[in-house]
Amino acid sequence: MSAIYVMIHDTHSDFRTIRSYGRILHDGLTSYGLGGASEPCEGETSFESGDCRIIMGSIQNNAHAGVPVTSCVVETGQHLAVCDAMIYNRKSFPGQDKLSDGELLVRTYEREGLSGLRSLSGDFAAVLIDKENGRIFLIRDHMGIRPLYIMQSKHYVTICTDYRPFFRLPENQITINEERLYEYLTMGIVASRTETLFANILKSEAGAVTRLTPNGKITASDTYWTPGMRKVPEDKWDVQYEKIYAKLIRDAVRNRVDAVGGEAIGAEFSGGLDSGIIVSLLDEYAQETGHELPLLATWSPSEEEYPIREQRDEVIRDEREVIKKFCGDKGNSCVYRPRCDAEDPEVYLKNTERKDICEFDADIIMYTMKALSGRGIRTVFSGWGGDEAATMRFGPSGLLESGELRAFLHEASYAAGKNPKKYLGFIKRALTAVRDSHAQWDGRAANGWQFNIAKDEYAHRILGKREKKYNYFGWNPVENLLTGGMESRTAIAAASGADMGMVYMFPMLDPLLIDYALNVPRRLYMKDGRRRLLPQKALEDIVPGYLTKFSGESNVEKLDTGRMDFYYEVAEETQSRTDEIILARLDRELFAEYVDFDAIERNLLHADNTVERNALRSIMRTLYKMQLLLKECR
């Protein structure tokens, strides 16, 4: 993982002062571990443009096999630029072998503009400055896998691939973003393409070029890609859709494997469909190329530490049975989460006390990276984002939303058999789901939680001025992807990757795959009660059917509750002790205007289910991480 930073200062400050600010950014980035896996290439340049003085720097830790790092600061006849880029379809640009990924990105944009960016397949973030007029251009990849943040202060603007160093800068004026915090307290996400939990820290928009004046003021954003914009020709035969889908997802995986050469790789594996597809494709390619099978990491405990109960039937009841069977069939090795992670509150506290990106809980990602980096892995593949588009998780109401009435009525008939009452009940439930999905999603306890922790006055003030929000998941996948909520996890992966000297790969977020998955008929994803059917049929030769058939019930000895999350239910006592410690450390004065701490304590004791307790715990950890960062700049 590489990093870039830019500091734009007014001319009242000399270059010595500005360079000291640049050093703060540089040291902040490297202090989080960036460059730890190998010796990075570093470079910085400074210049004056109009009434502004600018420095721009880059720390390149190139992981792209066979691709040169020719310069940390890219200079062409038109632009100076710093880039964090990995381009996967370099073969589509013949004659460019001597260019770094950053140079290829810049020159493609100069030559072809927005259409050129659309044609690239890769993860990238870049800052370009026009040498003639000083105008600034921020470029991010299609899905925002590489982050790029902007902080606006009184005397300067700074741009960086990680916002944590901003808190070290003098006079940063960072405050809480009240609307986004309310969103997180009531929905558990920050659904914005351009905002964060902090008021003057913004995100450059994904799939777009953001334009700034020479002094760093944002003027416009030019979109070069939105999910689903490349349409799919209609085909008479379903098997053709399946063949094209299989090729696109294979290409998405293989292009990313090729980018890291023959280096050993790892992968998340939950035992579910999305991660199972990615691991199956990695295994297939490894066997073809003679490379090692990927090392798998799961956040479930091993059978040795939490034995699986003996059973008389053949029902697969929890993900560990899937993982065990998959590894036995395919030959992969798997790293399980150790018991001490579940039973030692210091493990939770240590993770919580890391200064981290706040918009997503980093616990699972950090565990995966630690487990794999200790075994020499630098690249981790994830199935994250599959059910958002590529594998399309939706129910019968999704067929109604897309207007595919014939397919919907077929599902109603299949579910009801010959029972008219069941048939009408099926239709009624689907219509109710459609109605509920269109309901405004900005109320208190809007996520279905049976608790509320936002203070009344604060809630009424925010609800009176904020835009309407909807939960698009499952019925409008395009709008769901455009909310910006997907970036929460990719941002954490980028920041944690920098900390650990690792790179996360998200093949399910490949833009060509997403465009195709969003535009084929929805009926391909659902038939005869089976859901997410297209990827299963397209890859049935390599993806085991049992990945979609486990019941999700608890199957641990001496534990007879329903479906469980091992690390919140098995270790409930440990979690409760950790909750007490975090609550005691939270600065109630800092959040006094927003958070009802009595409600947190009350609901932790009486939450109806594990999901609600986990939601509360995630909120507490996020508040604590915000507190750690904000106190750094006091």
Residues paired with 45 in a beta bridge = 56
What are the CA-CA distances from residue 205 to residues 141, 312, 512, 574 (Å)?
9, 54, 19, 40
Q: How many CA atoms lie within 13 A of 240 on its CB side?
A: 8
Q: Are 104 and 136 in contact (CB under 8 A)?
A: no
pLDDT of residue 609: 60
Question: Given its phi and psi angles, is residue 40 left (phi above 0), alpha (psi -120 to 50 degrees) or beta?
Answer: beta
pLDDT of residue 395: 86
Amino acid at 372: L
- pLDDT category, 451, cuts 50, 70, 90? low
Q: Residue 483 pLDDT more than 70?
A: yes
Comparing 100-109, 560-569, 609-618, which segment has the lowest mean pLDDT? 560-569
pLDDT 10s digits, 175-200: 999 999 998 888 888 888 999 999 99
- pLDDT category, 268, cuts 50, 70, 90? very high
Residue with tokens 């293989």: 254
pLDDT of residue 141: 97
Region 256-280 average pLDDT: 92
Q: How buried is residue 558: exposed, middle or buried, by Cβ count under 10 Å (0-12/13-18/19+)?
A: exposed
pLDDT of residue 63: 63
pLDDT of residue 162: 92
pLDDT of residue 564: 44
Q: Residue 596 pLDDT more than 50?
A: yes
- pLDDT category, 550, cuts 50, 70, 90? very low
Q: How buried is residue 633: exposed, middle or buried, by Cβ count under 10 Å (0-12/13-18/19+)?
A: middle
Comparing 99-113, 219-233, 319-333, which segment has the lowest mean pLDDT? 319-333
Q: Residue 35 pLDDT more than 50?
A: no
Identify the sign of the CA torsion 195, 201, 204, 206.
Answer: negative
Q: Residue 316 pLDDT more than 70?
A: no
Please name which of 376, 366, 214, 354 lies closest in space to residue 292, comparing C-alpha atoms.
376
Q: Residue 335 pLDDT more than 70?
A: yes
- pLDDT category, 571, cuts 50, 70, 90? low
- SS3 sequence of 43-56: EEEEEEECCEEEEE
Domains of the chain: 3-223 (3.60.20.10), 238-392+482-555 (3.40.50.620), 396-440+452-473 (no CATH)
> Helix (H, G, I), strand (E, B), or coil: what is residue 506?
coil
Beta strands in 88-227 (DSSP E): 122-130, 136-140, 149-152, 156-160, 201-203, 208-212, 218-223
Output the average pLDDT for the chain.
85
With pLDDT > 70 as the criterion, what percentage of the chain qualifies?
87
pLDDT 10s digits, 5-15: 999 987 777 88
- Rounded to an integer, what distance in angstroms lies between the CA atom of residue 510 and that of residue 518? 12
> Helix (H, G, I), strand (E, B), or coil: what is residue 180?
helix
pLDDT of residue 441: 64
**Could you count the other beta carbons within 10 Å of the beta carbon of residue 584?**
7
Region 425-439 average pLDDT: 89
What are the CA-CA distances from residue 372 to residues 290, 301, 499 (Å)?
21, 16, 14
Region 392-416 average pLDDT: 92
Of residues 536 and 45, more confidently modeled = 536
CA 542, 370, 206: angle at the middle one, nearest 5?
70
Q: Residue 553 pLDDT more than 70?
A: no
Amino acid at 5: Y
With pLDDT > 90 as the criterion, what percentage of the chain qualifies?
46
Q: Are 609 and 563 in contact (CB under 8 A)?
A: no
pLDDT of residue 527: 93
Please name which of 205, 251, 207, 224 lies closest in space to residue 513, comparing C-alpha atoms.
251
- pLDDT category, 561, cuts 50, 70, 90? very low
pLDDT 10s digits, 115-146: 999 999 999 999 999 998 999 999 999 999 99
The pairing of beta strand 526-527 with beta strand 530-531: antiparallel
pLDDT of residue 565: 47
Residues paired with 10 in a beta bridge = 52
Q: Residue 569 pLDDT more than 60?
A: no
pLDDT 10s digits, 53-77: 888 888 876 567 778 776 788 999 9
pLDDT of residue 586: 93
pLDDT of residue 546: 83
pLDDT of residue 240: 96
**Which are the contacts of 505, defined by CB distance < 8 A and separation ≥ 6?**
256, 379, 380, 381, 382
